[in-house]
Amino acid sequence: MWNFQTDPEFQSQLDWMMDFVKTKVEPLDIRFPGHGAPYDVSNAESRAAIKPFQDEVRARGLWACHLGPHLGGPGYGQIKLALMNEILGRSYWAPTVFGTAAPDTGNAEILAMFGTDEQKETYLQPLMNGDIVSCFSMTEPQAGADAKEFTCRAWQEGDEWVIEGEKWFSSNARYAAFLIVMAVTNPDNPPHGRMSMLIVPTDTPGVQIIRNVKVIGDSHDSDDGIHAYIRYNQVRVPLDAMLGAPGEGFKVAQARLGGGRVHHAMRTVGKCQRALDMMVERANSRRTQGKQLAEHQFVQGMIADSWIELEQFRMLVMKTAWTIDEVEAGRSPPVSPRTLIAMCKVQMAKVYHDIIQRAIHLHGSLGVTQELPLADWWGGVASLALADGPTEVHKAQVAKALLKRAPVAAGLFPSEHIPTRMEMMR
């Protein structure tokens, strides 16, 4: 249980992590820039640079902590993982150095839950070791993340599955050893029972990367796009390549999303905290109009708003993590934390947008240059509101959950109608 204090033994680990990430890992963002750099296992220079850091993490017992004990991991629980991910969010390279980079964490979870012993040996163990990376190939060009509109299909021919169709924004496919593909296998089932998950080695004949799509912040000149537009052209895999049973793709996908969204939210907290640290340093270091920036009330307001919003968001995420732990430990009724997770997803994009924008503004023209990390972080604002489903979808989910448990007024007037209540008291 977490009561705003962390046990001293684990706090010492967190203190070590903070110092380690600040002094050794954050410089990697400058030395090996680019969002795809941490996933490029073929880059001998970067791999040689991070190996001693990874060895230090392993020696501390902090490597790949995302799996529970029933899946072969240390079983830290979501509270401890949230506190760790708050620190890892400070650097693009930190998740790779600690063996917790997405989408590999989620893919490792479903391999551990649904994979055969052979699949675990072939894919899960190298993934956990950090020797390979993977790709989650789900969204489609005509459907986005709406699985009800997917057309990429797979059918059985003899002892093989044949996959045909296109996938969009399959992140890190260019570096991945294998892809986990969601395809329609049972088209006549209800919407959430139509899809299945299939493991596809990237070098399988018929896997065609049409192009690696660039996003905000990527260079127009270099080939640094990491989000693949893929054509699966009669791709054949064995029958045992399926994770779970036919039609269980949605169930498998949901199994990997909940914890990952909490971790992503806490990494956002970490990045926002770093931006806030930059804001207050700037305010104390810069003079304008005859006094320090920190003495201007507008600046004080920006700093106060940022700190308050960040603390509120952090508490929401920690409550969500605590709820997941309590349910899994059997200490709370088995209620789904989906609504809390959706609330985190909604607020994450807003808090990130507001704090990064203020940090850039306080740094003036320097804030929009590539001489600070702020401009690069700003490039992630739009995508954060779309990743794992657009903000509007999660808002609707939150509202429906509250409306579902809300009563209907018994009479003509609302239950708080004063004349009606006075009449009832007579």
Interval 387-397: pLDDT, tens: 888 899 999 99
Q: Are residues 254 and 367 in the same domain?
A: yes
Q: Are residues 156 and 108 in the same domain?
A: no
For residue 318, name the pLDDT band (cuts at 50, 70, 90).
Answer: very high
Q: CA nearest 139: which of 170, 163, 165, 108?
A: 170
- What span, in angstroms and rounded, lies between the C-alpha atoms of 230 and 355? 35
Q: CA nearest 183: which of 207, 163, 168?
A: 163
pLDDT of residue 4: 79
Q: Is the pLDDT of residue 28 over 60?
A: yes
The β-bridge relationship of strands 178-184 and 195-201 is antiparallel
| Helix, strand counts (H, E) of the chain | 16, 10
- In the predicted model, what is the mean pLDDT of residues 420-424? 92
pLDDT of residue 155: 98
Q: What percent of the chain has pLDDT over 70?
A: 97
pLDDT of residue 173: 96
pLDDT of residue 38: 96
- Specify whether the CB–CB gap between 133 and 176 falls below 8 A: yes
What residues does 212 pair with on adjacent strands?
228
Q: Are residues 401 and 256 in the same domain?
A: yes
Task: Point out the domain boundary residue: 99, 129, 159.
Answer: 129
pLDDT of residue 353: 97
Query: How far is CA 143 from its chain centroid?
Result: 21
pLDDT of residue 241: 96
The number of folded domains in the chain is: 3
Q: Is the pLDDT of residue 1 over 60?
A: no
pLDDT of residue 11: 95
pLDDT of residue 245: 94
Q: Is the pLDDT of residue 338 over 60?
A: yes
Instruction: Supply 166's token pair.
Output: 């296109």
Per-residue model confidence as pLDDT tens digits over 266-285? 999 999 999 999 999 999 99
pLDDT of residue 5: 82
Q: Is the pLDDT of residue 77 over 90?
A: no
- In the predicted model, what is the mean pLDDT of residues 39-56? 96
Q: Are residues 231 and 279 in the same domain?
A: no
How would DSSP label each residue in 55-74? HHHHHTT-SSTTS-GGGTS-
Q: Are residues 55 and 24 in the same domain?
A: yes
pLDDT of residue 71: 63
pLDDT of residue 278: 98
- Specify whether the CB–CB gap between 97 and 32 falls below 8 A: no
> Among the residues of 166-296, which ranges form H helices?
249-285
pLDDT of residue 171: 94
Burial (CB < 10 A; 0-12, 13-18, 19+), residue 412, is exposed
Instruction: Supply 256's token pair.
Output: 């990997």
pLDDT of residue 257: 63
Task: Point out the domain boundary residue: 243, 260, 275.
Answer: 243
Structure-token match 């203020």, residue found? 358
For residue 70, name the pLDDT band (cuts at 50, 70, 90).
Answer: low
Residue 416 located in a structural domain: no
Residue 138 belongs to what domain range?
134-243
- In the predicted model, what is the mean pLDDT of residues 48-53? 97
Taken in order 121, 55, 317, 171, the sign of the CA dihedral is negative
Q: Are residues 360 and 329 in the same domain?
A: yes
Instruction: Supply 391's token pair.
Output: 């903000």
- In the predicted model, what is the mean pLDDT of residues 20-32? 97
Task: Point out the domain boundary residue: 83, 103, 129.
Answer: 129
What residues does 227 pair with on adjacent strands?
171, 213
Q: Is the pLDDT of residue 261 over 90?
A: no
Which region holds residue 228: left if phi is over 0, alpha if psi is between -120 and 50, else beta?
beta
pLDDT of residue 296: 97
Residue 410 located in a structural domain: no
- In the predicted model, what is the mean pLDDT of residues 131-148? 93
Residue 296 located in a structural domain: yes
- Specify whether the CB–CB gap between 23 and 59 falls below 8 A: no
Give CA separation, 186 vs 154, 193, 422, in Å: 9, 7, 59
Q: Is the pLDDT of residue 67 over 80?
A: no
Mean pLDDT lowest among 25-39, 194-208, 256-270: 256-270
- Whether omega for the bond prior to residue 103 falls within 30 degrees of 0, making it cis, is yes
What residues does 4 pair with on adjacent strands?
none
Torsions phi, psi of 140, nearest 5?
Answer: -125, 155
Residue 419 located in a structural domain: no
Residue 210 located in a structural domain: yes
pLDDT of residue 123: 95
Q: What percent of the chain has pLDDT over 90?
A: 79
For 202, residues 6+ apart whose C-beta sits below 8 A from its C-beta are: 135, 173, 176, 177, 178, 179
Q: CA nearest 354: which of 318, 388, 378?
A: 378
Q: Are residues 254 and 396 in the same domain?
A: yes
For residue 72, name the pLDDT band (cuts at 50, 70, 90).
Answer: low
Which region holds residue 157: left if phi is over 0, alpha if psi is between -120 and 50, else beta?
beta
**Radius of gyration for the alpha carbons in the chain, expressed in angstroms and rounded:** 24
For residue 2, name the pLDDT band (cuts at 50, 70, 90).
Answer: low
Q: Is the pLDDT of residue 3 over 80?
A: no
pLDDT of residue 319: 94
Most distant pair of Cα atoms in the chain: their distance: 83
pLDDT of residue 329: 78
For residue 258, name the pLDDT band (cuts at 50, 70, 90).
Answer: low
Length of the chain: 426
Residue 415 located in a structural domain: no
- What span, in angstroms and rounded, lies between the C-alpha atoms of 356 and 103? 24
- Specify whether the CB–CB gap between 173 and 179 falls below 8 A: yes
- Mean pLDDT estimate for the chain: 93
pLDDT of residue 413: 95
Which region holds residue 242: left if phi is over 0, alpha if psi is between -120 and 50, else beta?
beta
Q: Are residues 324 and 398 in the same domain?
A: yes
For residue 145, name the pLDDT band (cuts at 50, 70, 90).
Answer: confident
Q: Are residues 124 and 138 in the same domain?
A: no
